[in-house]
Chains A and B, each alone.
Chain A
Amino acid sequence: MTDLQMAARAEGYAPRRRASLGRLFHRSPTLGGYALLSPALMVMVLGMLVPFLILVAMSFWSRDGFDFDTTFTFLNYERAASEPIFGTFLARSFWVSGCATVATVLLCYPMAYYVAFHVHRNKMLWVILMTLPFWTSYLLRVFSWKVILGYEGVINSALLSAGLIAEPLEFLLYSQTAVIITLAHAWAAFAILPIYVSLEKIDRSLLEAAADLGDGPVRRFLRITLPLSMPGVISATFLIFIPTTGDYITPALLGGPDGAMIGNLIQLQFGPVNNWPMGAALSIVLMLWIAAVAAVFLFLARTYRERLA
């Protein structure tokens, strides 16, 4: 209400429009705030929301030679549900990225714990050290695992020249294991940061109180540290699980036929297979599954928290 009045009054000062516009922003933080947000918001709407809506629309079309038949059809979704290849790839994507997520969180928790509780000087340096690799090219980090796990890669050639094996180990590259290892390594920072932040927030006096009341280190950890750090664990799980499910690079470089994931299938539809509506439908199916899994996970996390309280 007052904002509207303010805006109306500002319109009145036509000759000194610039000055009054500035004053308007100072007096009306709400209007000014929206004005400042609008460019970023517009970019996101035009670059994210609009394309996404068109993607949804396209998923109900069908391919017609090199063009599209824009009559509404559920055909793509029917195919996605009925043809086993799509279900297989989707299930495998969730399995592989689920394994990678669990491995990453389990491996990173002690690391975050160490920095939060046992590093007293140069904490920031440790945090930078832990997150620095994450900022380098994702493609190169995945590529580096190809160098390591390859048929003539670092591990095989090192083991061979040490005389420990006679033949190169073939299971290293082009397998689900390779994809899981690489994903766990590449996404470590996404687990460390949220867990570290939630551990850092824990009030140390709670631990001292528990110790004074006779709890040993294990009980202190299980009853105080772990429950209070769960928010960090939950956001870490989300931050890794959701993006890795749709990952393209890692399975393409390291997965081989057994390790290919839904991202590769989507790319095929937009590339060699050239069935864009099918690719669009697969993208939507992936999004819906991710949303469903995330919702179930959130529900479980909330139930757990309520039981705790």
Chain B
Amino acid sequence: MSDVSYINRPSRALTVYAYAFLVVLYAPILFIPLFSFNDSIYVKFPLQGFTTRWFVELWQRDSVWAALGNSLRVGLSVAVVSTALGVLAARAIAGSRLPGQSAIVAFVMLPLVIPTIIFGVALLVLMSRMGVPLSLYTIFIGHLIVCLPFAIATLLPRFEGFDRSMEEASADLGENAWWTFWRVTFPIVAPGIVASLLLTFTISFDEFIMAFFLSGTEATLPMYIWSQLRFPREFPSVLALSTVILAVSFILVFAALRIGRLGLVRTGGDTHGA
């Protein structure tokens, strides 16, 4: 690559800015784990010494385990369902130029650009009019709406990048559509599927607004955190719980981005601009 040309002479000021930017981007989030190991009920400097008691206390709480179970159940179901729907949709969008396709894609991508609160209250109104009691199922539906655009955006580059003639060859050799999918298409798009599963799970696991409007008596983890924020006494244990959630999210997303080779970035311009 001839990137290093007289056009782009290295700029020290810009390099310093870039590293400073990264520090500012990460610093706020890193204060949470820092204070979660601090041996004081007050979140302030100077630090009081290292302790793991907030984590131990967290471990012994039944309500936290219940919320974790709820979050896992919703997150796993949302990940599987939204990825399955995303695979079908991405295959259709990448496969052909359907009449009205861009309108359909824009419609499906709407949750990316409309405040979640609107969908939250709209679903709440629908559920109450239909007499559906609020529960983990209603949260699941809300999260499905939020996650589907991300699933499609993650899967689309995988489907677009692959050679359609391989599917045709398989069909010509007598495989039906089902087996063609499993033996030809699936192995090629598998990394995209894994990335989509990880990302949609993380989004659901972290999502708050939909859960806020659509949860019944059973809380997800973010809802649990929200309810604890009112009590200053609970601050350290909220920090500890946040640390655990942050660690899980970071690991899952980092894996997803590596596996999916940044599908979102490549389509970022098109799908987001829609």
Contact = CB atoms under 8 A, between A and B. Distances in A.
Interface of A: 18-19, 21-23, 25-26, 29-30, 32-37, 39-41, 43-44, 47-48, 50-52, 54-55, 58, 107, 110-111, 113-115, 117-118, 120, 124, 127-133, 135-141, 143-145, 147-148, 150, 152-154, 156-158, 160-161, 185, 188, 190, 193-194, 196-198, 201, 204, 207-208, 211, 220, 231-232, 234-235, 238-239, 242-243, 245-249, 253, 263, 266-267, 270, 276, 279-280, 283, 286-287, 290
Given A110-B14, A238-B113, A144 B178 contact: no
Given A54-B125, A185-B28, A231-B269, A48 B111 contact: yes
Interface string B18-48: 1001101110110110010000001111100
Q: Which DSSP category, helix, strand, loop or mixed, fits chain B's interface?
A: helix
B26 A133 contact: yes
Interface string B226-263: 10010000000011001001100110011001100110
Q: Which DSSP category, helix, strand, loop or mixed, fits chain A's interface?
A: helix
Output the residue of B86, B115, B226, B262 with the most chain A CB within 10 A: B115
B108 A44 contact: yes
B152 interface: yes
B183 interface: no
Interface residues of B, number: 103
A143 B240 CA distance: 13
A287 B85 contact: no
Given A37-B92, A246-B117, A266-B121, A154 B44 contact: yes
Top 8 A-B residue pairs of the complex, sorted by shortest distance between their CB atoms: A246-B115, A22-B177, A157-B44, A137-B206, A51-B122, A36-B92, A51-B126, A40-B89
A50 B171 CA distance: 39
B15 interface: yes
B17 A110 contact: yes
21 contacts: A23-B177, A29-B96, A34-B98, A37-B89, A44-B107, A44-B108, A48-B119, A51-B119, A110-B14, A130-B22, A133-B25, A135-B202, A136-B245, A140-B242, A144-B32, A147-B32, A150-B43, A238-B113, A239-B113, A242-B113, A247-B117
B79 interface: no
Nearest to A135: B253
Given A54-B125, A133-B26, A243-B114, A194 B7 contact: no
Given A130-B25, A137-B245, A194-B268, A211 B91 contact: no
B60 interface: no
Given A152-B43, A157-B44, A283-B117, 10 more contacts: A51-B122, A52-B119, A55-B122, A120-B3, A135-B253, A196-B265, A204-B7, A231-B269, A263-B115, A283-B118
Interface in B157-211: 168, 171, 176-178, 199, 202-203, 205-206, 208-209
Nearest to B87: A36
A60 to B, nearest CB: 13
A66 B187 CA distance: 55
Output the residue of A124, A132, A220 with the most chain B CB within 10 A: A132
A154 B110 CA distance: 38
Contacts of A117: 8
A49 B206 CA distance: 24
Contacts of B148: 40, 43-44
A22 B178 CA distance: 8
A117 B9 CA distance: 9
Contact of B125 (A44, A58, A145, A246): A58
Contacts of A208: 5, 7
Interface string B129-151: 10000000000011011001000
A54 B125 CA distance: 7
A22 B28 contact: no
Contacts of B95: 29, 32-33, 36
Nearest to A186: B28
A161 B3 CA distance: 48
A108 to B, nearest CB: 8
A290 B21 CA distance: 30
Interface in B46-75: 46
B175 to A, nearest CB: 9
Nearest to B101: A33
Contacts of B10: 118
Nearest to A29: B96
Output the residue of B108, B117, B177 with the most chain A CB within 10 A: B117
A71 B49 CA distance: 64
B44 A143 contact: no
Contact of B44 (A25, A34, A153): A153
Contacts of A128: 254, 257-258, 262
Output the residue of B42, B91, B113, B152 with the most chain A CB within 10 A: B113
Contacts of B110: 44, 48
